[in-house]
Amino acid sequence: MSENIIKVPAGGQKITIEQGKLQVPEYPILPFIEGDGTGRDIWRASVRVFDAAVQKAYQANRKIAWMEVYAGEKAFNKFNSWLPEQTIQAFQEYLVGIKGPLTTPIGGGIRSLNVALRKMLDLYVCLRPVRYFSGVPSPVKHPEYVDMLVFRENTEDIYAGIEFENGTPENIAFKNLLKENFPDEYQKIRFPESSGLGIKPVSKEGTERLVRAAIHYGLDNKRRSVTLVHKGNIMKYTEGSFRKWGYEFAEREFGDRVYTWAQWDRTKAAHGEQAANEEQDSALNSDKLLIKDVIADIVFQQTITRAREFDILATMNLNGDYLSDALAAQVGGIGIAPGGNINYAEGQAIFEATHGTAPKYADKDVVNPGSVILSGEMMFRYMGWHEAADMIIKGMEGAIAAKTVTYDFHRLMEDSTLLKTSQFGDAVIQHMDD
């Protein structure tokens, strides 16, 4: 595509990165994708919230130069491309941006535009904060105990998985390779003649950069623990290696700033359980970050029954997909859950709606814009604009506490006031001044 489809706003400046630290100008250019379906309604409300937060936090000293880029159905209709190359280049060049929900094309070799963006830009962390806003309907007894961050690996596991459909020449060739070279493993396949097969890549490098990001976040924000979530009791050399590499890396790179359950196990073996417990207590009392682990299926139970024991969760891709949605259900659902996809080493980050396009509600001004609004809060915090981020949290808390909400919460909250998408944006802005 030779024509220039992106209009760069005059006067804005690029965010850059130097020695691993973002350099954010006072008037940064931020690429945004409006989104398909309900994305249009959501963006119109959200961008007003973002601009108001910046204005109230910094007056005329800072302002965002919004630059629209294109993906999804809107891009296809305008430019006959679901994901124009110029959009990828814009996120690479301008580093930090935000997007609404996208329609996934049927056919064409693209499984998901969201996944495509993450892979092309190597956004190896999918960050999902989960916290409770007072007054939001919840199916659990104590949703206020939920205050967690999911660091989900974004480039390996099923996102890099290789599949062989049953009956295809590739499937037959792969089965023959297994049968000839790994006969014992082949015998474990219960019904080989009708089985589709897949490969699940998990690397040491991918594990380490994810764990590094999670631990850095924990130390920088004075969190209590990082929990490695895995299914290593069954998948010994993928998920199990994720656990092993995570512990080894934490001890090697962060030294005496962390205390690991691997160290606890060594102390217990050498000196007994009481000595190990005393060692751990001493470490935590000196503000060391606890690095621990939990089996993936158990974590779903324990994040409900023992939510206060979890803080940061670092996990492979598929487990993180389940876990972030399950946690969101405890605090109001995926419609209010924020998300970001981040490459901490090179700086690129796209913050996003974590829900779908809901086309039947498109252009009706009814849906909850909370996911994009709170993703913008994450974006500002990533940029170091903490005062603007705090404004958004203050506005959201105030609007929800006043029971002025969109239909999804209204139907579950007694004595609430039903607002349109645009009106909810107004309410958030109003409560920034409380």
Check 265, 287, 297, 433 and give the catalytic one: 297
In whole angstroms, give the CA distance from residue 154 to residue 374.
20
The pLDDT score that the predictor gives to residue 313 is: 98
Its CATH class, for the domain covering 1-126+346-434, is alpha beta
In whole angstroms, give the CA distance from residue 291 to residue 227.
6
Which position has the token pair 């099923």? Answer: 158
Beta bridge partners of 29: 65
Check 231, 292, 344, 365 and give the catalytic one: 231
Check 94, 124, 132, 159 and give the catalytic one: 159
Pick the CATH number of 139-160+202-330 from 1.20.1440.230, 3.30.479.10, 3.20.20.120, 3.40.718.10: 3.40.718.10
- Hey, do 1-126+346-434 and 139-160+202-330 end up sharing a CATH topology, with the first three levels equal? yes
Residue type, 406: T
The pLDDT score that the predictor gives to residue 365 is: 96
Catalytic site residue 204? Answer: no
The pLDDT score that the predictor gives to residue 20 is: 87
Which position has the token pair 């159905």? Answer: 73
Q: Where are the domains of the chain?
A: 1-126+346-434, 139-160+202-330, 162-199
Half-sphere exposure in the Cβ direction for 303 (13 Å, CA): 30
Catalytic site residue 321? Answer: yes
Which position has the token pair 């934490």? Answer: 250
The pLDDT score that the predictor gives to residue 108 is: 56
Count of helix runs (H) and strand runs (E) in the chain:
16, 17
Sign of the Cα torsion 63, 394, 40, 354 reads: positive
Check 292, 321, 365, 382 and give the catalytic one: 321
The pLDDT score that the predictor gives to residue 381 is: 96
In whole angstroms, give the CA distance from residue 332 to residue 38.
19
Tens-of-pLDDT digits for all 434 residues of the chain?
557 899 999 999 999 999 889 999 999 999 999 999 999 999 999 999 999 999 999 999 999 999 999 999 999 999 999 999 999 999 999 999 999 999 877 655 566 888 889 989 999 999 999 999 988 888 999 999 999 999 999 999 988 889 999 999 999 999 999 999 999 999 999 999 999 999 999 999 999 999 999 999 999 999 999 999 999 999 999 999 999 999 999 999 999 999 999 999 999 999 999 999 999 999 999 999 999 999 999 999 999 999 999 999 999 999 999 999 999 999 988 788 899 999 999 999 999 999 989 999 999 999 999 999 999 999 999 999 999 999 999 999 999 999 999 999 999 888 999 999 999 999 999 999 98
For 25, the token pair is 């100008």
pTM (2 decimals)? 0.93
Sign of the Cα torsion 20, 341, 149, 212 reads: negative
